[in-house]
Structure 1
Amino acid sequence: MSAITVRRLPEGVKQRLRLRAAANGRSMEAEARHILVDALHADRRVDLDWVDGLMAVGAEFGGVEVPDVPDDTAGAARFDGS
Structure 2
Amino acid sequence: MPSVTVRKLSDETHRALKIRAARHGRSTESEIRHILDAAVNPAPRIKLGSLLAEIGQSVGGVDLDITRDKTIGEPVSFE
Provide TM-score, normalisation by structure 1.
0.50
**Structure 2 residue aligned with 1:17:** 17
**Structure 2 residue aligned with 1:67:** none
- Does residue 1:8 correspond to 2:8, yes or no? yes
Unaligned stretches of 5+ residues in structure 2: 44-79
Q: In structure 1, the residue corresponding to 2:9 is in which secondary structure? A: coil
Give me the CA root mean square deviation: 1.1
1:32-74 CA deviation, whole Å, 9 max, x = no partner?
Answer: 000000011127xxxxxxxxxxxxxxxxxxxxxxxxxxxxxxx
> What percentage of residue pairs aligned between the two structures are identical?
44
CA distance, structure 2, for counterparts of residue 13 and residue 40 of structure 1 = 20
- Does residue 1:42 correspond to 2:39, yes or no? no
CA distance, structure 2, for counterparts of residue 12 and residue 3 of structure 1 = 23
Provide TM-score, normalisation by structure 2.
0.52
Question: Paired residues, what number?
Answer: 43
Amino acid at match of 1:13: T
CA distance, structure 2, for counterparts of residue 42 and residue 11 of structure 1 = 27
